[in-house]
């Protein structure tokens, strides 16, 4: 809805009212149309101000309407009516003016923004383009290069940058509506022709073709298969080369293709999924809205290796006081230097002062006595972590939350080493912890809802996509990664190369295929885990039985490479070769190919031709199948949790929505059929055995993903 009032006798003020972000729903659009008509037909009104209630101008088109039959007054003619009005219309921008919200403001004749406002055209991140004239008006207003940057990245700009770019006419630190009313009074009666952006040509740009070619090339490279950024470039090109009306027609055509695309559905699903995971719930019935978090002012990090350093930086950057503990003096000094460097670089990027004083370094665990929360990040060894937890329990004040950054160990076992297991949760960060978006908050059966709420709240404060998950081996992300990696190894045994597997996965949209990723993170990491699991044996045996371990198919390929000292990038050799240790450019390695040939010969394996489709089906469906097990076990509350984990922490292409969304798009029946097919071919591979939840969902008619929750509950109650 939109409310209309007359102020200062001759200014009509239209206030958008649609909490929480004043999205342009059908009712709001109709409200604006009616209010504009009222203002224009009232002879006492000399000028008009458009603003939004509750300190936010407008979050854009109502994304929830996109999934339905869109009805009501369309946005484009509404904005045209504003631009062609014969009285000045001023947008008063507080909070956010995003997407359709900014397009509405661009249809106004003037824009006044509060200094804390943020503006942008983020449609690209929803798989769309600014299709209410934004792709045509913005380049006319600020020039092609700046418009291309904003529209293809979707980035939000501050009011100061918006002023510098010429998007807004004035920035105020005071009441924005008051400033806009004053401004509206001052411009009443002035000619509006120069203020109608659609009537302007784009500012001249030398060598337009070369510019578009360069930008298109860049966008194609970074888009990794996403179509919206490319359509955005095409739409801006139309603005630069065609008259406005034809440009609008091109904008409409491009939007028509994007609007119904699977990518737009996936990206909009991600938008809502990221918000849905904040509304966490535990199998005990504890939930986000009934569990109060505890305040955290002072935190501590124990262990300043790579993870501990990143966590310290992430905490300090949120403004917390951090006690950083490392018992070895030399390592403490090195860590101090590294953390200070990271804080300085981060602060420089964000244009703020580095929070160097926020971190106190100590060799003594006693220093954490008065903190509200501790994150333990020592070496991944249960005995060591147990000792640290026992020490912390003795040292910390009552009520301190004890968190472990383990990526694989049993959070509940650690909790049982403390007198207050309800205060223990996992906070599983991803390296580098100050950069990576994902945080898995792992609760055990005894973790209190308050502990989970506190860790989730802290994650949010740190800007993380925080997902609450149950305690099991590998939690959600790494548990699903295991079958994915194992399938990739099996494919090598059967005739694939690392290059082929990686190419298939990279064309799918992963930034790195599984083998390039393994080289980056270090082959020794998995080797250590497999050794711990008793899977690694001397590599002399041959034949099929040498590759059955603990009753299931096992590929020792990774172990054999480690025995050769090939740990990946850090040793300059792994699944690929590198110019020198630490170098990042992977090159195909003839040694590896002959090694694979010799290995196959030793084991009587005959290489066959493997295509990209088989790579995708075997690696991805195995991973997805594990996701269904996780849902069935109640480790993740819903498919959104799994998808947010994969998109924000494991490089799953966002425009494919996450593994569970992808399964929904492919069709559950098809995923089931392909798993059954591969399971028949590889009966000794348990992870290809379709999960019973997947079978039950297919049997119940493959409900769409937003109905899985209900279906899972119903299916469980029938068991």
Give min distance, CB of 97 to ligand L6W4SP4V, in A.
Answer: 9
Do 373 and 454 meet the contact criterion of CB atoms below 8 Å apart?
Answer: yes
Neighbours of 100 (CB within 10 A): 28
Distance, CA of 41 to CA of 36 (rounded, Å):
9
Query: Toward ligand L6W4SP4V, which CB reaches closer, 32 or 610?
Result: 32
> Which residue's entry shows tokens 């690696």?
619
Q: What's the DSSP call for residue 435?
A: T
Give min distance, CB of 515 to ligand L6W4SP4V, in A.
Answer: 36
- The residue count for binding ligand L6W4SP4V (CB under 6 A) is 29
Out of 174, 252, 292, 473, point to the residue binding ligand L6W4SP4V (CB under 6 A). 252
Query: Toward ligand L6W4SP4V, which CB reaches closer, 277 or 619?
Result: 277
Query: Toward ligand L6W4SP4V, which CB reaches closer, 230 or 392?
Result: 230
Give min distance, CB of 235 to ligand L6W4SP4V, in A.
Answer: 11
> Which residues in 316-375 contact ligand L6W4SP4V (CB under 6 A)?
none
Neighbours of 213 (CB within 10 A): 11
Has 3 been annotated as catalytic?
no
Beta strand pairing call for 2-7 and 465-470:
unpaired
Distance, CA of 487 to CA of 173 (rounded, Å):
58
Query: Toward ligand L6W4SP4V, which CB reaches closer, 63 or 414?
Result: 63
In degrees to the nearest 10, what's the CA dihedral of 563, 569, 571, 572? 110
Cβ burial of 473 (10 Å; 0-12, 13-18, 19+) is exposed
Give min distance, CB of 197 to ligand L6W4SP4V, in A.
Answer: 15
In degrees to the nearest 10, what's the CA dihedral of 40, 41, 44, 48? -20
Query: Toward ligand L6W4SP4V, which CB reaches closer, 453 or 501?
Result: 453
Give min distance, CB of 102 to ligand L6W4SP4V, in A.
Answer: 8
Out of 23, 78, 240, 645, point to the residue binding ligand L6W4SP4V (CB under 6 A). 23
> Which residues in 117-156 contact ligand L6W4SP4V (CB under 6 A)?
122-123, 126, 128, 130-132, 134
Query: Toward ligand L6W4SP4V, which CB reaches closer, 74 or 597?
Result: 74
Query: Toward ligand L6W4SP4V, which CB reaches closer, 126 or 228?
Result: 126
* Complete edge-to-edge strand list for the sheet that includes strand 118-120: 96-98, 118-120, 156-158
Crossing angle of helices 306-317 and 329-350, rounded to 10°: 40
Cβ burial of 235 (10 Å; 0-12, 13-18, 19+) is buried
Segment interacting with ligand L6W4SP4V (CB under 6 A) among 18-26, 162-170, 368-376, 580-588: 18-26
> Which residue's entry shows tokens 């059967």?
494
Give min distance, CB of 135 to ligand L6W4SP4V, in A.
Answer: 9
Residue 341 CA neighbour count, 13 Å, CB half: 7
Distance, CA of 11 to CA of 607 (rounded, Å):
78
Distance, CA of 602 to CA of 227 (rounded, Å):
46
Segment interacting with ligand L6W4SP4V (CB under 6 A) among 170-178, 254-262, 447-455, 634-642: 254-262
Give min distance, CB of 550 to ligand L6W4SP4V, in A.
Answer: 44
> Which residues in 173-232 contact ligand L6W4SP4V (CB under 6 A)?
none
Query: Toward ligand L6W4SP4V, which CB reaches closer, 96 or 571?
Result: 96
Has 329 been annotated as catalytic?
no
Give min distance, CB of 123 to ligand L6W4SP4V, in A.
Answer: 5
Give min distance, CB of 24 to ligand L6W4SP4V, in A.
Answer: 7
Residue 190 CA neighbour count, 13 Å, CB half: 15
Give min distance, CB of 8 to ligand L6W4SP4V, in A.
Answer: 29
Give min distance, CB of 25 to ligand L6W4SP4V, in A.
Answer: 8
Query: Toward ligand L6W4SP4V, which CB reaches closer, 266 or 694?
Result: 266
Do 254 and 129 meet the contact criterion of CB atoms below 8 Å apart?
Answer: yes
Catalytic residue among 123, 440, 614, 640: 123
Query: Toward ligand L6W4SP4V, which CB reaches closer, 100 or 247?
Result: 100
- The length of the chain, given as a count of residues: 719
426: helix, coil or strand? Answer: strand
256 binds ligand L6W4SP4V, rule: CB under 6 A: yes
497: helix, coil or strand? Answer: coil
Do 51 and 181 meet the contact criterion of CB atoms below 8 Å apart?
Answer: no
Helices (H) and strands (E) in the chain, counts: 29, 19
Catalytic residue among 83, 103, 494, 640: 103
Closest CA to 12 of 101, 90, 118: 90
Binding mask 257-296 for ligand L6W4SP4V (x = CB under 6 A): --x------------x--x---------------------
Out of 192, 255, 324, 392, point to the residue binding ligand L6W4SP4V (CB under 6 A). 255
Element (H, E) at 428: strand 424-429
Q: What angle do CA 417, 418, 422 make, to 5 degrees?
A: 120
Do 319 and 286 meet the contact criterion of CB atoms below 8 Å apart?
Answer: no
Position of minimal CB gap to ligand L6W4SP4V: 99
> Which residues in 49-108 contact ligand L6W4SP4V (CB under 6 A)?
59-64, 75, 96, 98-100, 103
Segment interacting with ligand L6W4SP4V (CB under 6 A) among 36-44, 252-260, 338-346, 456-464: 252-260
Query: Toward ligand L6W4SP4V, which CB reaches closer, 45 or 63?
Result: 63
Give min distance, CB of 605 to ligand L6W4SP4V, in A.
Answer: 50
Integer CA distances (angstroms), 358 to 332, 355, 598, in order: 16, 5, 56
C-alpha dihedral sign at 662, 665, 666, 668: positive
* Three-class HEC string of 152-217: HHCCEEEHHHHHHHCCCCEEECCCHHHHHHHHHHHHCCCCCHHHCHHHCCCCCCCCHHHHHHHHHH
Q: What's the DSSP call for residue 281?
A: B
Query: Toward ligand L6W4SP4V, which CB reaches closer, 117 or 671?
Result: 117
Task: Please give the structure tokens belonging to residue 268.
Answer: 């909009």
* Cis peptide bond upstream of 20, omega within 30: yes
The residues of the shown chain that bind ligand L6W4SP4V, judged by CB under 6 A, are 20-21, 23, 59-64, 75, 96, 98-100, 103, 122-123, 126, 128, 130-132, 134, 252, 255-256, 259, 272, 275
Residues known to be catalytic = 103, 123
């Amino acid at each position: 809805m939109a409310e209309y009032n007359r102020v200062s006798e001759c200014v009509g003020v239209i206030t958008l009212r649609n909490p929480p972000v004043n999205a342009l729903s059908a009712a709001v659009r109709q409200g604006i149309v009616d209010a504009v008509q009222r203002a224009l037909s009232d002879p006492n009104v000399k000028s008009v101000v458009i603003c939004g209630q509750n300190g936010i101008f407008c979050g854009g088109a109502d994304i929830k309407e996109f999934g339905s039959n869109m009805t009501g007054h369309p946005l484009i003619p509404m904005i045209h009516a504003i631009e062609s009005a014969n009285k000045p219309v001023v947008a008063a921008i507080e909070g956010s003016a995003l997407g359709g919200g900014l397009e509405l403001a661009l249809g106004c004749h003037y824009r006044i923004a509060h200094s804390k406002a943020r503006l942008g055209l983020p449609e690209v991140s929803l798989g769309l383009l600014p299709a209410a004239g934004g792709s045509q008006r913005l380049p006319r207003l600020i020039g092609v290069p700046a418009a291309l940057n904003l529209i293809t990245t979707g980035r939000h700009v501050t009011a100061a940058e918006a002023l510098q770019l010429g998007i807004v006419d004035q920035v105020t630190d005071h009441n924005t509506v008051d400033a806009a009313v004053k401004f509206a009074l001052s411009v009443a009666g002035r000619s509006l022709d120069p203020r109608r952006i659609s009537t302007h040509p784009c500012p001249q740009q030398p060598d337009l073709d070369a510019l578009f070619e360069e930008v298109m090339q860049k966008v194609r490279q970074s888009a990794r298969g996403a179509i919206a950024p490319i359509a955005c470039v095409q739409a801006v090109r139309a603005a630069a080369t065609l008259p406005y009306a034809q440009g609008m027609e091109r904008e409409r055509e491009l939007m028509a293709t994007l609007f119904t695309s699977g990518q737009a559905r996936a990206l909009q699903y991600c938008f809502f999924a990221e918000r849905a995971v904040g509304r966490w719930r535990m199998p005990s019935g504890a939930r986000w809205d009934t569990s109060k978090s505890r305040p955290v002012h002072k935190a501590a990090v124990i262990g300043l290796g790579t993870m501990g350093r990143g966590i310290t930086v992430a905490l300090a950057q949120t403004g917390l006081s951090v006690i950083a503990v490392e018992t070895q003096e030399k390592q403490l000094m090195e860590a101090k230097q590294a953390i200070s460097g990271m804080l300085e670089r981060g602060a420089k990027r964000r244009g703020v002062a580095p929070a160097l004083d926020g971190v106190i370094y100590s060799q003594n665990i006693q220093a954490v006595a008065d903190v509200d929360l501790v994150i333990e990040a020592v070496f991944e060894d249960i005995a060591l972590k147990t000792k640290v937890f026992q020490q912390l329990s003795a040292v910390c004040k009552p009520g301190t939350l004890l968190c472990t950054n383990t990526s694989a160990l049993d959070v509940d076992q650690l909790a049982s080493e403390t007198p207050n297991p309800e205060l223990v949760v996992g906070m599983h960060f991803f390296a580098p912890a100050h950069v990576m978006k994902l945080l898995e908050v792992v609760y055990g059966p005894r973790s209190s809802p308050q502990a989970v709420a506190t860790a989730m709240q802290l994650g949010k404060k740190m800007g993380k996509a925080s997902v609450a998950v149950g305690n099991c081996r590998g939690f959600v992300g790494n548990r699903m990664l295991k079958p994915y990696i194992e399938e990739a190894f099996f494919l090598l045994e059967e005739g694939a190369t690392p290059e082929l597997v990686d190419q298939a996965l990279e064309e799918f949209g992963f930034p790195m295929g599984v083998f390039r990723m393994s080289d980056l993170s270090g082959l020794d990491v998995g080797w250590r885990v497999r050794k711990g699991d008793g899977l690694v044996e001397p590599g002399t045996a041959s034949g099929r039985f040498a590759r059955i371990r603990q009753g299931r198919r096992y590929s020792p390929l990774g172990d054999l490479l480690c025995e050769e000292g090939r740990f990946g990038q850090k040793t300059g050799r792994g699944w690929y070769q590198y110019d020198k240790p630490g170098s990042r450019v992977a090159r195909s390695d003839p040694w590896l190919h002959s090694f694979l040939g010799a290995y196959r010969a030793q084991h009587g394996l005959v290489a066959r031709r493997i295509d990209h489709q088989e790579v995708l089906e075997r690696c991805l469906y195995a991973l997805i199948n594990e996701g269904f097990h996780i849902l069935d076990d109640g480790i993740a509350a819903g498919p959104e949790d799994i998808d947010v984990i994969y998109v924000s922490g494991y490089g799953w292409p966002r425009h494919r929505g996450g593994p569970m969304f992808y399964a929904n798009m492919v069709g559950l029946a098809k995923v089931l059929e392909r798993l059954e097919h591969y399971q028949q071919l590889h009966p000794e591979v348990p992870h290809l055995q379709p999960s019973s939840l997947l079978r039950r969902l297919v049997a119940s008619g493959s409900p769409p993903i937003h109905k899985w929750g209900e279906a899972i509950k119903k299916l469980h109650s029938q068991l």
